[in-house]
């Protein structure tokens, strides 16, 4: 038998303030729930969630939502779209979401990749692989 002991003398405490993101009424992509969010901060310090969005039929996507703060306390989120979704042809393998761009802000029309760093042209040298 394995016994675990815990030291209850930690130098901090956590207080649950409430739920910051629930399924949006009428949003079919969230019909079965909003689950298991990961989180990350942008270079300018904004906090984002990457929740699993579950539609009917247990079809999952990964969304992107910015956490809204009031006096430093999370109070809600602003949904910013989908960053990972199944292929449209019914293939269950997820891919990074890409969208057609209109060429605004002086950019050439083409395809863009959406992620925590914003919208970037595909193949931009954002990281060592050009995709991250």
Model confidence at 98, pLDDT cuts 50, 70, 90, reads very low
pTM listed for this prediction:
0.60
The beta-carbon contacts of 56-64 under 8 Å, at least 24 apart in sequence, are 56/28, 56/31, 56/32, 58/32, 59/86, 60/86, 60/94, 61/29, 61/85, 61/86, 61/94, 62/94, 63/29, 63/34, 64/114, 64/115, 64/116
Is the model's pLDDT at 99 over the cut of 70?
A: no
């Amino acid at each position: 038998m394995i016994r675990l002991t815990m030291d209850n003398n930690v130098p901090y405490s956590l207080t649950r303030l409430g739920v910051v993101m629930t399924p949006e009424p009428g949003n079919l992509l969230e019909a079965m729930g909003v689950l298991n969010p990961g989180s990350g901060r942008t270079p300018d310090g904004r906090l984002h969630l990457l929740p699993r969005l579950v539609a009917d039929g247990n079809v999952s996507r990964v969304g992107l939502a910015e956490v809204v703060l009031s006096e430093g306390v999370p109070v809600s989120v602003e949904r910013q779209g989908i960053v990972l979704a199944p292929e449209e042809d019914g293939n269950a393998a997820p891919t990074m979401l890409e969208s057609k761009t209109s060429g605004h802000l002086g950019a050439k029309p083409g395809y863009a990749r959406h992620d925590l760093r914003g919208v970037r042209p595909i193949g931009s040298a954002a990281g060592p692989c050009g995709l991250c």
